[in-house]
Chain A
Amino acid sequence: MILDNYAIIYLLSNIFFLYVIYRFLHMFFDERLTSRKVELISYLVYFVAISVLYLSLKTPLINLVGNLVLFFMLSMNYVSTWKSRLTATVFMYAILICIEAITVLGLQYLNLNASFKGTDVELIAALISSKILSYMVVLILSNFKMVRNQVNLSVLHWLAIFLIPIGTLFSTFLLITSETGNSLALTITSISVLFLINIFVFYLYDVLVRSYQQKFERELLWQQNEAYVKQFELIRQSQDKMRTFRHDMKNHLSVLKSLVEKQDVEATLTYSQGITEFLDNPDEYARSGNSELDGILNYKIHEAREKGVQVDLKLTIPERLAIQPFDLSVILGNLLDNAIEAASLVTAEKKIRLEIFFKRNLLHIQMVNPYEGELNQQNGRFGSTKNDHEHHGIGLNSVKRSVEKYNGALELSPKDGKFHTKVLLYNQGAAITV
């Protein structure tokens, strides 16, 4: 009878626990890879599997391994890297097992069963209160928002973070299962200390991710700065040229006049072509008058040329846009980086077609670049073929974030051996984002 009651309470509390796990995972991952239906089914499978495991076997080790495996499988519902998945799984379980151990042992310490004969009040109370506590902890941890950014940590940084919850799981498990005759109070204290360490390391993990992000943004700002400097240089150069040209205008005109008088059509055309070429600045590809956008485009196209990649640019945009230059830089800089890299690796014609146009309050960016080899489809995303570059994932993530600020859309698709990129942005001030 007691077991039945107990089982019912276990199952009920587990439903609530399912929600806690859901919240936990959504703290780490913000984008589903599977449909809502598959997500729901996977949680139900988890619920059934863990309940059966727990109620039928009651072996702590199997319970531990079962939970870790199942958590990891739940994390497959979301877009992420295997490193982040492992970290999330282990952290989640380390924190949850600490809470459970503390409540169970704490209630044992209070010795509630002494006052209630016949029922295992402690166990029932532990079941319920550990779930409530877990929920509260999740709520508190939800304040760390950076962890959900898919940053590819360096292996050493990741190991440093990862080993702490792993160690916690190991130690807690030993403390609960082994009968070494430690006093109850000592065990509770040890687990509480481990719990606190995990919470703080979780905080540090958050800070680490933030610093990766900041480092990346700093580099981006530096690039943008570099682009501005180059753009100023271009403007200065073309002004110099205009000055020289104005100065030489009379000479040019008299040459042309004499050529026309001699009726030398060919020489006239060659001479006027020469003037046109003189006025064209070879490093100025974008001349929309939108200096921030021209700057980043000229900078990137120059980079592309150095890698032997030709960029065919068509630019029809107004001189001023409500979209922040920073976001335009993030979007165009990263997308062009990827396109240039992919195009530079092909054996066929290394040519990127980029069209940017503005219509009815919408900014369209459309790019087509060639690529060869396998697309990196990890994370359910397309990327270039490189995998050593830690910034790559951040790059596309930043593009996405900037696009979202304007309610925009981003689409990456390989089609007929070419890679197509489309972006749509509403020309509005950026929504305030934290």
Chain B
Amino acid sequence: MLRIGICDDERHICSQVEQMLADIAEETRQEWEMQVFSSGESLTEHLREGKFFDVLFLDIELPRINGIEIGKMLRYDLGNEATKIVYISGKESYAMELFTIRPVDFLIKPLERARLAETMDRVRYLIERGTRIFEYKNGYYSYKIPIQEILYFESSGKKISIVMEQEKRQFYGKLSDVEAQLGGRGFLFVHKSYLVNYAHVIEYQYESVTMTNRLALPISQNRRKDVRNWIMNNNIGGDEYDIR
């Protein structure tokens, strides 16, 4: 079940989105729980109290606390990378700040149902990819981590570190085995000792990638062109698609 938040100061937009989503859910046999907020304040209050949404539909031009501020709060103050944000706006021009919040999509009013269904397809794909589990063994025990919590794998010698937002775990293994286990989905070799989760990349440069923990990992010289062409051809620009 997906938890979906909708925030717009215009009531009829909220109910329109809610209605369209309810229709799409019925058609695609999904169970979605929707909650509507008519102001930025009420949404941020819920977020601060620890309420989690899988998807947030956010109006950009909200009075007082606007969509950009809510997005920043979610990503930077609360450190939430998992919630997928979809911006809604009456305009087709966007400030650069909006892009740093890494929204999945931008929708323009008046909303179209087909377009919304397309966005939800993508959101579902991304969530499904992120909630898969990575399993590894350390001694006799095996451990499980949801993919979306992993920023990247780093190898040094025979050890592999799993770097997450808050912690780091180690086990013995080979990066190529880890990659094979992940099935080529969601991860990118930028360096012989770094396998990064591109859902956690906040910025691509030709020579490096910056991760959500603000660390810039180098892309090795002989991989730069490959990484670049891979990004171009798989249209991910971050997290959109995988080779399927």
Contacts and interface: CB of A to CB of B under 8 A. Distances in A.
Our verdict on whether A and B bind, yes or no, reads: yes
Contacts, number: 74
B47 interface: no
B181 interface: no
Interface in B217-232: 224-225, 228-229, 231-232
Interface stretch (A20-28, A159-167, A243-251, A361-369): A361-369
A411 B206 contact: no
A362 B233 CA distance: 13
Interface string A22-57: 000000000000000000000000000000000000
A407 B227 CA distance: 12
A176 interface: no
Contact of A364 (B102, B224, B237): B237
B171 interface: no
Contact of B96 (A320, A360, A362, A364): A320
Interface residues of B, number: 27
B95 A319 contact: yes
Given A361-B203, A364-B235, A407-B206, A289 B228 contact: no
Given A407-B206, A426-B205, A360 B233 contact: no
B204 interface: yes
B191 to A, nearest CB: 17
Contacts of A418: none
A278 interface: no
Interface of A is mostly: strand
A359 B238 contact: yes
Contacts of A423: 232
B166 interface: no
A16 interface: no
B52 interface: no
Contact of A358 (B99, B202, B233): B99
B96 A287 contact: no
A360 B98 contact: no
A287 B92 contact: yes
B99 A359 contact: yes
B93 interface: yes
The residue in A287, A318, A360, A361 that gathers the most chain B C-beta atoms within 10 A of its C-beta is A360
A288 B92 contact: yes
Interface string B85-104: 00000011111101100100
A424 interface: yes
A366 B92 CA distance: 19
12 contacts: A289-B92, A289-B94, A316-B94, A317-B94, A359-B238, A360-B201, A364-B235, A364-B237, A366-B235, A407-B206, A409-B225, A411-B233
Kindly list the 9 A-B residue pairs having the minimum CB-CB distance in the complex, ordered from nearest: A289-B93, A359-B237, A407-B206, A424-B232, A318-B96, A360-B238, A361-B203, A287-B92, A359-B238
